Amino acid sequence: MTTSELRKDLISGRWVIIASERSKRPDDFRRPVSCEQKDAQAGFCPFCGGNESKTPPEIFAMRNPGTAPDTPGWTIRVVPNKFPALTRGESPQRKIRGIFESMPGIGVHEVVIESPDHDREINDLTPAQIQDILGVYQQRIRSIETEPQYQYVQLFKNKGNEAGASLSHPHSQIVATPIVPKRVKEKIYGSERYFKRTKVCLFCRTIEEERAAGERLVMVNAHFAVNTPFASRFPFEMRIHPLRHSPFFSSAGSDELNSLAEVLKSALARLKGILSDPPYNIVLHQAPHPETSRKVWPRIDLIFHWYLEIIPVLTRIAGFEWGTGFYINPVSPEAAAKFLRG
Ligand SMILES: [Zn+2]
Ligand SMILES: [Zn+2]
């Protein structure tokens, strides 16, 4: 049963999820409450080891041999979101009423609990532990993509109340949508335009130029480069690019995941050091479901290149940004990279 609905804004072409099962009264929006306050009010954390019965039954877990599902003994645990924005189902039918277009809120909404320990964030884990988390992300994405009605899988992490986290326990989320989001299409069209002109992947070219210039480069290891983007929207925004070209995160092999774990740990530790533990978002950018991608963009394998984005939440989106889509960034990406290089 779905109680949420996707509605299309005709002017922008953007879809909105009206998630009524998360329904709140106006009172709930009046005063922001921090995750820590909420956790304290609730008195316990449903994601901590020992509280397995307080989440919906697990979908997947890395656990010690001989331990039963939904009991202690796990290191990473994946559960359905208790208040999902979208719910599993068949490919949704579009409804048209007058000029208004909508569809049932079909999709997937999962939570990856990164550790049973409440106080150990990603940068506190070992690279091997982080690699396991990355492997679980891939496993979940591949599993969701066995059902082609889920056209786009979005992996993200909200850390801290200001970054949108409602629980402070280290976790990330996976939301799969029944349509390709507008922003994803825009990125693919942008890289397709560049490819048409040059026959080169825009991302491969960017990595090459950033490595040559060096001024926005934060670090490079065997398989990844980290830099602050030339047109960074936010202070200390970082992109983590795989050096090997591929549109799909799931294509990364274990050597690459190991390398990614290293740079992710290091990038987050640098951020924490410079900005004293800021709230942040981590966002995966990859091509939509391979079947959809190859049907709509036959050259997707050549034109798109997956990457991760880390956005510390230090500034607010305000009137000018809402009106124009412009961003005003008070820290140059060159200065940010210099601080991050230390
Ligand atoms: Zn906890
Ligand atoms: Zn590329």
Distance 100 CA to ligand 2 centre (A): 38
Distance from residue 22's CA to the centre of ligand 2 (Å): 39
Q: Which of 109, 169, 171, 285 is catalytic?
A: 171
**Integer Cα distance of 278 and 268 in angstroms:** 10
Q: How far apart are CA 90 and CA 102, in angstroms?
A: 15
Q: Which regions in the chain score pLDDT beneath 50?
A: none
**pLDDT of res. 271:** 96
Ligand nearest to the CA of 300: 2
Query: What is the dihedral sign for C-alpha 207, 192, 140, 16?
Result: positive
pLDDT value, residue 147: 96
- Quick one: which ligand is closest to 48's CA? 1
Helix (H, G, I), strand (E, B) or coil at 155: strand
What is the torsion angle, in degrees rounded to the nearest 10, for the CA atoms of residue 21, residue 27, residue 33 and residue 39? Answer: -50
Distance 235 CA to ligand 2 centre (A): 25
157 Cα to the center of ligand 2, angstroms:
24
pLDDT at residue 44 in the model: 85
Considering every ligand atom shown, identify the ligand nearest to the alpha carbon of residue 50 and give its number.
Answer: 1
Query: Which residues make Cβ contacts (< 8 Å) with residue 3, sequence separation at least 6?
Result: 19, 20, 21, 87, 105
Which ligand is nearest to the Cα of residue 307, counting in written order? 2
Tell me how far the alpha carbon of residue 177 lies from the centroid of ligand 1, in angstroms: 28
Active site residue 171: yes
Give me the residues near ligand 2 (ion), CB cutoff below 5 Å. 201, 203-204, 245, 305
Kindly give the distance from the C-alpha atom of residue 250 to the centroid of ligand 1, in angstroms, as a whole number.
28
pTM: 0.94
Cβ(14)–Cβ(95) below 8 Å: no
